[in-house]
């Protein structure tokens, strides 16, 4: 089983004590976001986990623990660093702070296990296309020796995004092509393999490779492992990533990013965060008598695993 930790909330930044407790106890509960009384129990024992994909905008809370996690599990860390300031990402560290943390992370686990996400790209009066290209080049020049590859995408204009961030200026076809061309040029200048998320067209002429954000091949090369043949069905329309299980919870991320896909609104996420208990097997709240807990089926996907299990 492959776990995503997490696209529903920033577990690494805000829930690391809870995550460490879950890894120590070897299991986690996850409430179905579409049926609140359906709860899945996932097995987190190292010998039952094929890989863990971490997604965060701040790995600092996990730095003291990531080496032990890396010794137990096959991992990949997606680190999001964008051009936005506190007006858009209120509780996210600054660009320079993020670069420093990414560098430390890379020195601990190795660059082959780190992907830099520059997304979502959006434009407003305060964040122009030129601002993005300038910031992308600055970050690329600082971290090119500490990452394996880069991913970018354009903002998805979901209803809640339109409500929470009405100042977004819609992209034209010319805008996206201009950005794609120059991101490819900058990435290649600094020797960074670059690819897209949810863009289904051949961009190799711009130096951008055709790949999903996370594939079995990427995980294999990062961890010296070998997977069985797995169909890459993705997590949403247009996604071609390897299938994963996410035990995060929507509407719980305190990053408070205005463009957030996972929070309905900032107030709800802030209130939900207060209900978190690091000792609970659930990220949010507790099990009730109405809940039905089902043990998730755990089909191993690996043909070869190089990890030597180290007990927590």
Domain-located, residue 303 = no
pLDDT per residue as tens digits for the range 15-60: 999 999 999 999 999 999 999 999 999 999 999 999 999 999 999 9
Show the domain range for 252: 2-290
Q: Is 151 helix (H, G, I), strand (E, B) or coil?
A: strand
pLDDT per residue as tens digits for the range 118-148: 999 999 999 999 999 999 999 999 999 999 9
pLDDT less than 70: residues of the chain: 234-238, 307-312
**Counted domains in the chain:** 1
Whole-angstrom distance, CA of residue 298 vs CA of residue 170:
43
Domain-located, residue 140 = yes
In the sheet that holds 27-32, the strands lie side by side as: 27-32, 35-43, 292-295
Domain-located, residue 299 = no
Domain-located, residue 295 = no
pLDDT score of 122: 98
Domain-located, residue 310 = no
Domain-located, residue 302 = no
Domain-located, residue 155 = yes
Torsion of CA 139, 145, 147, 150, to 10 degrees: 50
Q: Is the pTM of this model over 0.75?
A: yes
Half-sphere exposure of 52 (CA within 13 A, CB side): 26
Largest Cα separation within the chain, whole Å, is: 58
pLDDT score of 311: 38
Half-sphere exposure of 227 (CA within 13 A, CB side): 23
Whole-angstrom distance, CA of residue 161 vs CA of residue 116:
23
Domain-located, residue 96 = yes
């Amino acid at each position: 089983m492959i776990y995503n930790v997490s696209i529903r909330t920033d577990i690494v930044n805000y829930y690391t004590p809870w995550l460490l407790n879950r890894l120590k106890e070897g299991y986690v509960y996850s409430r179905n976001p579409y049926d609140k009384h359906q709860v899945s129990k996932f097995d987190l024992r190292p010998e039952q986990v094929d890989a863990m994909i971490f997604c965060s905008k701040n790995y600092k809370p996990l730095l003291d623990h990531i080496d032990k996690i890396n010794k137990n599990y096959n991992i990949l860390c997606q680190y999001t660093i964008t051009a936005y300031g506190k007006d858009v990402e209120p509780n996210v560290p600054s660009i320079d702070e993020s670069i420093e943390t990414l560098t430390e992370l890379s020195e601990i686990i190795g660059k082959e296990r780190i992907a830099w996400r520059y997304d979502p790209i959006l434009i407003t009066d305060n964040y122009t296309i030129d601002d993005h290209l300038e910031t992308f080049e600055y970050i690329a020049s600082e971290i090119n020796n500490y990452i394996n590859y880069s991913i970018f995408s354009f903002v998805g204009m979901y209803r809640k995004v339109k409500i929470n961030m009405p100042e977004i200026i819609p992209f034209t076809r010319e805008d996206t092509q201009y950005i794609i061309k120059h991101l490819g040029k900058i990435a290649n200048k600094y020797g960074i393999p670059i690819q897209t998320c949810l863009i289904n067209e051949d961009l190799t002429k711009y130096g951008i490779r055709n790949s999903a954000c996370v594939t079995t091949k990427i995980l294999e090369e990062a961890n010296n492992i070998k997977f069985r043949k797995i169909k890459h069905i993705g997590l949403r329309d247009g996604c071609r990533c390897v299938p994963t299980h996410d035990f995060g919870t929507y509407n719980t991320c305190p990053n408070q990013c205005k463009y957030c896909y996972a929070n309905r609104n900032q107030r709800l996420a802030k209130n939900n965060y207060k209900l978190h208990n690091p000792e609970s097997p659930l990220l949010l709240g507790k099990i009730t008598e109405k809940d039905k807990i089902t043990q998730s089926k755990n089909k191993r996907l690996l043909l070869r695993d190089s990890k030597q299990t180290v007990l927590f």
